[in-house]
Amino acid sequence: MDKQTFVMGSVGAVFVAVILKIFWSYNSYLQQLFGGNQLLQAMLVPSILGTWIRKLMALFVLTRLMYRFWPKKSLKDKLILVTGGGAGIGRQICLNLAKQGAHLVIWDMNSKGIEEVKKEITTTFPEIKVVTQTVDVSDRTCVYNTAKAVQEECGFVYGVVNNAGIVSGKPFLEIPDSKIEKTIKVNLLAHVWTIKAFLPAMLERNEGHLLSVTSAAGLFGNCGMTDYSASKFGAVGLLESIRLELQKMKKTGIDTTIICPAHVQTSLFTGFRTIPLLPSLSPEYVGRKVVEAIQRRKKVLLMPRIGYLAYAAKGVLPTAVDDWVKYFLGINNSMDAFTGSGVPPP
């Protein structure tokens, strides 16, 4: 286990221990002090909880400060592959990686888009090398062959950013089988193919970074997203399991990052109805935060921050309550007016 994971994990363990201490000491203390007098116990609740809440807040601030001031990883002269880099989030990731001095290999079916991105990067950052390739990431043979060629011609690929994605945006029974298969291939199996193609070289050097741009739909199901959500749940589970395998192998030089943004303002999700408390995110913001997550070796990033609270609540609340909240906030209707292409622009 690497130093950052050990330190941050230790602090997190203390954080959890304090939470458990709250429930244990709160009940035992009140029982000892007041016995069975429920009224007196209730009157003392605000004071005791206030004390423990301040302790929790202090621990939270401590962990945030440790994260904020932990040294950033340099990406200068690193070669990083970005799939789906011709538009939207992928384009912004490429621009921000170039800003940090990373050289790029950009894959996309949008040939025009990746050439425009290449031109923009080389004009702004002439010292950055950019290789563009038209690749169908859902085609295993194509991925393996192109990956082999990239490593032979360009050298060691330090980072793999799996960003390409598509969505159907229809109720489950209205989605053709062929479309479901395509969604699973692009959103999940493409991650499998690219990681299998580039991970062996990372293992040899004990160096590298694997990042998957998934979605909040990879943590929460939603109407009109059955195939999309299933593929994103799979992508989250895939990289989380790989992270644990790398730790078990003591490959501390290889980092993994799972990105789970809520709705992002791209043509992929045109017509998506914004959900209360979950503002839509701009591709510029997401692209910037993705690169920052790489530099800070962040394991999981949910955007916006309220996603962390929602995910924690999902594990605590009864399923019926969780479903009611989605109904009350109108989350189940967010895809009713969906008119997006479901694929990146050509």
Look up residue 51 and give its amino acid: T
- Grouping H, G, I as helix, E, B as strand and the rest as coil, residue 214 is coil
Query: How many CB atoms are located within 10 Å of the residue 323 CB?
Result: 13
Query: In terms of Cα–Cα distance, which of 215, 232, 236 is closest to 88?
Result: 215
228 classed as catalytic: yes
- Grouping H, G, I as helix, E, B as strand and the rest as coil, residue 301 is strand
What is the CA angle 77-246-152, rounded to 5? 40
Q: Residue 269 in contact with residue 254, Cβ under 8 Å?
A: no
The CA distances from residue 12 to 16, 67, 296, 305, in Å, are: 6, 12, 17, 17
Angle separating helix axes 38-69 and 3-34, nearest 10 degrees: 170
How far apart are the C-alpha atoms of 282 and 288, rounded to whole Å?
10
Q: Dig out the tokens for 312 from the structure.
A: 């924690």
Lateral strand order in the sheet of 130-134: 130-134, 103-108, 79-83, 159-162, 208-213, 254-261, 300-303
The CA distances from residue 333 to 76, 124, 171, 328, 338, in Å, are: 44, 42, 11, 10, 10
Alpha helices in 70-132 (DSSP H): 88-99, 111-124
Catalytic option among 67, 144, 228, 308: 228
The partner residues of 106 in beta bridges, in order of sequence, read 82, 132
- Grouping H, G, I as helix, E, B as strand and the rest as coil, residue 314 is helix
Look up residue 71 and give its amino acid: P
Q: Residue 253 in contact with residue 208, Cβ under 8 Å?
A: yes
The catalytic residue positions are: 228
